[in-house]
Copies of this chain bind each other. A is one copy, B any other.
Amino acid sequence: MFKLKGFKPDWTNDPPPKGTYRSIFKWGAPDRFKHPNNRLYAMLKREFEMTDADFKKPQNQGNEQVRLDRPPQLTNQHVEPLIRIVGPENVSSDDYSRTKYSSGKTMEEAMQLRRGIAGEVADIVVHPRDKEDVSKIVTYCNGHKIPVYVYGGGSSVNLGFKPVKRGITLVMNTHMNRVLSFNETNQTITVEPGIMGPAYESVLNNAPDFFNAKRRYTGGHFPQSFEYSSVGGWIVTLGSGQQSSYYGDMYDIVLSQEYVTPAGVFKTYDYPATATGPKLNDIMKGSEGAFGILVSATLKIFRYMPENQRRFAFIFPNWENTVNAAREISQGEFGIPSVFRISDPEETNVALKLYGIEGTVIDRLITLKGLKHGERCLYIGHTEGEKGFAKNVKKKVKRICRQHGAMYITGYPVKSWAKGRYSDPYMREDLNDFGIMIDTLESGVTWDNLHRLHEGVRTYIKSRPNTICMSHASHFYPQGTNLYFIFMARMNDMNEYKGFQQGIIDQIQKHGGSLSHHHGVGKMIAPWMEEHLGTVQMDVLRALKDHLDPNNIMNPGGTLGLDTNDREK
């Protein structure tokens, strides 16, 4: 491998210029970056047969100013009534806004935007101020059959809010980001959907200051997109946080919801349980904007007790033992750790580099113990909850891991993981700058099908030469878990990428995984839905769609596969 003396890749350290495509597709804060460390860089070169020379000149950086080749189709006849509803300061139709609020975080969109391709964009962008605005907008748009899309935090990885039928996009995090009420007795909080992760968590952590509460609380929901995703987005896409094994998925956390739909406005009850027929709260979870617009939600909150967390990490001799131990822990009825991540051998290799274990004393001990590279697997996690409960969970976890041949390697790797938990996505820009594609797909799976799904998808990905496939499971239930596939390759051709991605989804489907564990469906995975659920079940979802949104104005154009049976895969 060709190595330049003293060479460092030209990772970008400058915030993207304003108004550029890069400022749209770049993850997170404009001035934050995370670059691959030396060990990771060396691995990339080795895996992709690249040399330092390949990292000298970044490509397709998207530093051009956004320019659209199409003016809004929506005429002033329609724009003016919308301006009357929300005020002129809350409507924009400039090229940049239209592009920014129409773009999510898929690899596909990043590739396009890097090449100055905006894809489908909204005609105008509207920032509603409150539920009444939303209500008037939906009434108007329903009356005039104008498509309505909703932008929460913008972190969708499946074209969830892509305005493929144009129309308008509502931005929820501009104004509709307030706490509406806090109820310490019930341990609930009611918020508008546009409140972002950090703001939401911060008011809960500081509940004594904000609400004169007796205790501090946590929302318990920490997806990797935490810093740049909204509570509303978490709900309508059925998100899961990295601590979901203890706190539950957003599916479990959201207690009640209020929606504006073309068929009317409703608020579900926040009873902890009720036997009054099928629950609208359930029907709306995961509806991805296709049934109506979420305007407020009441969520369960939890006591904030980080002082009780007990960290741990283990190296297992192989994947099978790791999975068996994880299952035993999930079914043991002593409580489940909150962070709970098992990595397959290929991911373990990368993780040991990323978390700074490689080359340390721990690394030498692992090797001494005979835990072989290419077979060994990492398990990291920490407990949550009341002190005695948390201590007991760690005790049982240790016992079970040892019974499965694992070596305890302290809590250090979890600390290291926690430090990078929200910043890893920043690396995508560096990789993409040098023609390396990185993307993820994930699936829900029962225990008895885990190995088949893992092997099936891996075999497909690895059949492509010089392609990395890292897998982990990070959300645990007594009945199963998820599998999260991260794949990387030197790939610049958009068609090649699309074909490869679709092939992976095919394999997930073929090997009995769910089409998504917590990314949602959006318009990207929608074409697989009919086969996945079957026509009888899809027809039920379509009946709901027809009732709630008879004019198909709510996130139209394929969402969940509801309004396109024939969309090309």
Whether, in the assembled complex, A278 has its beta carbon less than 8 Å from a beta carbon of chain B, the answer is: yes
Q: Which residues of B contact A277 (CB under 8 A)?
A: 238, 286-288, 521, 529, 541, 560
- Mark each residue of chain A from 33 to 55: 1 if its CB lies under 8 Å from any CB of chain B, else 0: 00000000000000000000000
Q: Which residues of B contact A389 (CB under 8 A)?
A: 333-335, 389, 392
Is there contact, CB below 8 Å, between A185 and B392? no
Partner of A287, one of B278, B518, B543, B544: B278
Partner of A271, one of B240, B305, B446, B478: B446
Q: Which residues of B contact A535 (CB under 8 A)?
A: 264
CB distance from A449 to the nearest CB of B (A): 9
- Mark each residue of chain A from 267 to 283: 1 if its CB lies under 8 Å from any CB of chain B, else 0: 01111111111111011
A480 to B546, CA, bound (A): 35
Number of interface residues of A (CB under 8 A): 92
Q: Which residues of B contact A274 (CB under 8 A)?
A: 238, 444, 514-517
Is there contact, CB below 8 Å, between A276 and B445? no
A388 to B516, CA, bound (A): 35
Is there contact, CB below 8 Å, between B333 and A305? yes
Q: Which residues of B contact A384 (CB under 8 A)?
A: 333
Is there contact, CB below 8 Å, between B395 and A446? no
Is there contact, CB below 8 Å, between A547 and B540? yes
Is there contact, CB below 8 Å, between B392 and A276? no
Is there contact, CB below 8 Å, between B480 and A539? no
Is there contact, CB below 8 Å, between A275 and B519? yes
A448 to B187, CA, bound (A): 10
Whether, in the assembled complex, A6 has its beta carbon less than 8 Å from a beta carbon of chain B, the answer is: no
A300 to B533, CA, bound (A): 21
- Mark each residue of chain A from 237 to 254: 1 if its CB lies under 8 Å from any CB of chain B, else 0: 111100000000101000
CB distance from A458 to the nearest CB of B (A): 20
Interface positions, chain A 317-341, Cβ under 8 Å from B, are 327, 331-335
A55 to B446, CA, bound (A): 59
Q: Which residues of B contact A302 (CB under 8 A)?
A: 333, 478
What would 5 more interface pairs be, CB under 8 Å, given A255-B479, A277-B286, A540-B547? A187-B479, A278-B286, A280-B540, A388-B395, A543-B547
Closest 3 CB pairs between A and B? A272-B477, A543-B547, A264-B536
